[in-house]
Structure 1
């Protein structure tokens, strides 16, 4: 019997589920926000994912529902679950990716290492936290932020006055210690409803202007201690919040050998794009396996090193085909993935994967191939 998986959201993550769905014999259906989105090839409906009736109509003929993003309102998700719809990840897990204050509180209960943090309701509370943490802090809006949006480094309490003014009564901002980290890491795990969990190699991520620009798998210099620690953190969180599907745990590594959880994503994630071409089982296939409760695939790397470079912005309209051909000609070892998006400064319009045995060669080839699109 064919499993019908409905994906809410028509972005590039849903787009990249299409090919593995075909290979697995899964019928993929997508609820896209607008016409012409990245996943339009599988879009069977267009509508507002915040509207319960629209979502109800979309899920009527699917066996399981999953997501391209974490923005579907809790009241919509819980209504679906109450009506017997299989939702993975479910609302009880997804709330920890939707609200950073809820996430911090749950991670504290799980004993997972994380930065010092607090909920602050006004500039005075923020100033006290800053004073107690060396004169600086990171302020975040608890909901809706991504790719650097909704995040500020502040040195004074009044530097978030506009955000405080916009809060509803009783709401708060999240403030965290300003971590002096040496690099950023990411740990991905997959968990299926029956409880099986698999972990991917820990990777190093490079951010530019709050957006993931490069990923190196595995993280250079990651010995047994770091590898075991990050995998244990990922497994603890996956089991502790009951996530089903892919989970990405973004981490800080500090010069005093601490590893601290930064943020969570409960879906395929930018830090795992390398796995499409560098792992036995790519994250998009793995996510579909997990939400459909199929046996999970192996996660070993196919080569010693894999590097992913994001294509940000992209060339002027009409020039993509020519640059694609030039990049493929100059770097036949590169796997180029485009998202069907119009170019725009800073926008993720694709990525390049390269795998091989020499890290310097792999990094060079991936960067050089991506440079054809700048």
Structure 2
């Protein structure tokens, strides 16, 4: 408990953009957010008052960090499971717990558990030993995934018959799903067991990176949207998740297939800062503190979030681009993460709201393109 405020201290392991935006939500709630950062220029370390430095794989650093925290949570899934179990045994309250977080850390364990629950998943194999027979069974190419790690297109390979396996990587195999599009749904769950579901969104990918999120998912039949929300609630409940759960989905002929799970605030929910009555970051804090859940309804009929990726070196400074953007698009909200710019790196996002999806999407895409390239021309159609 923070004796200055009489309110809990929440510790977040990791100090990237998710912790940075969680810090913003904590300010409004009066909470004290402590972050464990790897370096002084981490996004949250640049803005948070209570910053400790250490490696998330160092048990001693985690012990020191957790001291004085009422609850500890995470902005990534990479804390070793055995460290989480050790801290919990020593009396530290951690959400999500190790038993739940395992299924966001280990894709093989996730597929095994979801299959046992009867959740819709692609056909898969636990390792790459039977690549040839599996490819002949489900069709080529086959998707190979690193069992642990991997994000934004990393750790995923499309293999044809005779393709060499990536060296030094523990792999599992999945069929290539004939998807119509990618969707995502987020739910929050408290220790008490209360759940709150956000509207289902469409995520638009390019080169394995999410470039846009459309809320709500356009043209999604109501019965399928309800089914997606119920599926996410069922998974969160069965796995004992506390905090945010993001379920990435494929829409296919005849229904839905689960792609990935994340147990933290997620890129597919950044739109909620302006686009929902309660942002995903506030909701995550509410959940881990066992507060009642907030309202998840949209604040506008159409909301679009577009990721801002780093562009090539040179040209206008980011500050100059902001000047021009705000003059051209005063209604677009900008979130920059304090990151050094590298080509293709997520350095921020923009959100636009309105009544007409096409107009909102064009404004968001134009704003993201300007911040990336210094050009206000609309993005190429996705």
Q: Give the TM-score band, short-chain normalised.
A: over 0.9
Deviation of the 1:315 alpha carbon: 6.5
**Match for residue 290 of structure 2?**
293
- Say which of 270, 279, 282 aligns to 2:279: 282
Task: Give the SS at the match of 2:298.
Answer: coil
Deviation of the 1:314 alpha carbon: 4.2
| CA distances 1:72-121 after superposition (whole Å, capped 9, x unpaired) | 00111111100111100010000000000000000011111010011124
1:184/1:250 contact within 8 Å kept: yes
Distance in 1 between residues matched to 2:162 and 2:300, nearest whole Å: 48
| Count of residues in correspondence between the two structures | 364
How do 1:325-344 and structure 2 match up within 5 A? 325-344=323-342
Task: Give the SS at the match of 1:16.
Answer: helix
Q: What is the RMSD of the two structures over their aligned residues, measured on CA atoms?
A: 1.2
Is 1:108 matched up with 2:106?
no
Distance in 2 between residues matched to 1:345 and 1:158, nearest whole Å: 29
Task: Give the SS at the match of 2:285.
Answer: helix
Deviation of the 1:136 alpha carbon: 2.1
Distance in 2 between residues matched to 1:337 and 1:178, nearest whole Å: 34
How do 1:164-243 and structure 2 match up within 5 A? 166=168, 172-243=170-241
Deviation of the 1:135 alpha carbon: 2.5
**Match for residue 377 of structure 2?**
none
Distance in 2 between residues matched to 1:249 and 1:5, nearest whole Å: 24
Task: Give the SS at the match of 1:23.
Answer: helix
Distance in 1 between residues matched to 2:24 and 2:312, nearest whole Å: 26
Distance in 2 between residues matched to 1:148 and 1:49, nearest whole Å: 23
| CA distances 1:172-230 after superposition (whole Å, capped 9, x unpaired) | 52100110101000010000111000000000000111111000000001121111110
TM-score w.r.t. structure 1 length?
A: 0.95
2:312/2:343 contact within 8 Å kept: no
1:185/1:250 contact within 8 Å kept: yes
Deviation of the 1:373 alpha carbon: 1.1
**Match for residue 30 of structure 1?**
35
Further displaced range: 132-141 or 180-189: 132-141
Deviation of the 1:316 alpha carbon: 4.0
Deviation of the 1:156 alpha carbon: 1.9
Deviation of the 1:159 alpha carbon: 2.7
**Match for residue 303 of structure 1?**
300
- Say which of 59, 63, 72 aligns to 1:65: 72
**Match for residue 375 of structure 2?**
none
Deviation of the 1:25 alpha carbon: 1.1
TM-score w.r.t. structure 2 length?
A: 0.93
Distance in 2 between residues matched to 1:121 and 1:186, nearest whole Å: 28
Distance in 1 between residues matched to 2:54 and 2:297, nearest whole Å: 38
**Match for residue 267 of structure 2?**
270
Task: Give the SS at the match of 2:10.
Answer: strand
Task: Give the SS at the match of 1:372.
Answer: helix
Q: 1:362 to 1:80 in 2, by over 3 A?
A: same
How do 1:125-136 and structure 2 match up within 5 A? 125-136=130-141
- Say which of 127, 148, 172 aligns to 1:143: 148
How do 1:77-116 and structure 2 match up within 5 A? 77-116=84-123
Which consecutive unaligned segments of at least 5 residues does structure 2 have? 1-5, 373-382
- Say which of 245, 248, 260 aligns to 1:247: 245
| CA distances 1:238-274 after superposition (whole Å, capped 9, x unpaired) | 00111110100000011x2321000000000000001
Distance in 1 between residues matched to 2:325 and 2:58, nearest whole Å: 42
Distance in 2 between residues matched to 1:187 and 1:157, nearest whole Å: 37
1:207/1:213 contact within 8 Å kept: yes
Distance in 1 between residues matched to 2:283 and 2:157, nearest whole Å: 34
Distance in 2 between residues matched to 1:157 and 1:106, nearest whole Å: 30
Which consecutive unaligned segments of at least 5 residues does structure 1 have? none
1:183/1:253 contact within 8 Å kept: yes
